[in-house]
Structure 1
Amino acid sequence: MRNVSTRTQRAVARFNSGVMALRSSRLAGRFVRKHLIVVTYTGRRSGRTFQIPVGYRRRGDTVTIGVRMPDVKSWWRNFTGDGGPLTLDLDGAPSEGHAVARRDARGVTVTVRLTA
């Protein structure tokens, strides 16, 4: 019998691949990019580089990412404490930033301050 977490990880990987393809499509890409950005970060422990699509809100130089179902996701944990650097694909160009994750009674929010 397969490990449930392995199945879940594979399903999430397939879903993320589909979303990334939609972001690149001529037909739906413009709409999808208004609501989803791609976050690129390096894992604290693994040192590996990851890219994931996430929903976001932007106000000036601040991007806010609400993490849905945070207990089954691990990416946001790379930004707890003092946080860490990441890159966002905003407006079709990479934007560098510093992200900090905070957990409260409502869930997890990752706040990104964009740098020059």
Structure 2
Amino acid sequence: MRYKGPVPRRMVDWVNTRVATLRTSPRWGRMVSRHLTVVTYTGRRSGRTFSTPVGYRRSADVVTIGVRLPERKQWWRNFSGEGGPLSLDLDGAERPGHAVANVDGRGRVTVTVRLGER
């Protein structure tokens, strides 16, 4: 079943809060943190700081984030073109990086982050 229409902001905030809480849980935190991180960035137009949990894969200093349902999400658009700075919560610390979003021919979006760059 495909959901049609916008997801209410309250629901998104509720889910994001629960996921972020799971990452710091004494029981589940280590396991969840291997697959989920929190991206913190500044919006290009608003200048406001945002944080959102995302799934990721890491290989050395390169983190790959596959954006699910990209047509319904806005955050990744801050990293289109030349990309931009962000930070990721990895290994219990904030790690700065430079992210670039790529949209393939099928509309799938991948955000590639090079850690240590700004």
TM-score higher than 0.5 here? yes
Q: TM-score, normalised by structure 2?
A: 0.90
Distance in 2 (alpha carbons) for counterparts of 1:60 and 1:31: 19
Distance in 2 (alpha carbons) for counterparts of 1:109 and 1:37: 15
2:111 maps to 1:110: yes
Paired residue total: 112
Structure 1 runs not aligned, ≥5 long: none
Partner of 1:8: 8
Structure 2 runs not aligned, ≥5 long: none
SS in 2 for 1:26: coil
Deviations, residues 16-45 of structure 1 (Å, cap 9, x unaligned): 000011111111111111110110000001
2:14 maps to 1:18: no
Q: TM-score, normalised by structure 1?
A: 0.92
Larger fraction in helix: 1
Q: Which stretches of structure 1, 4 residues or longer, exceed 3 Å deviation after superposition?
A: none
The Cα of 1:8 is off from its aligned counterpart by 2.2
1:50-61 equivalent positions in 2, closer than 5 A? 50-61=50-61
Q: State the AA in 2 paired with 1:113.
A: R
Higher mean displacement: 71-80 or 105-114: 105-114
Distance in 1 (alpha carbons) for counterparts of 2:71 and 2:10: 17
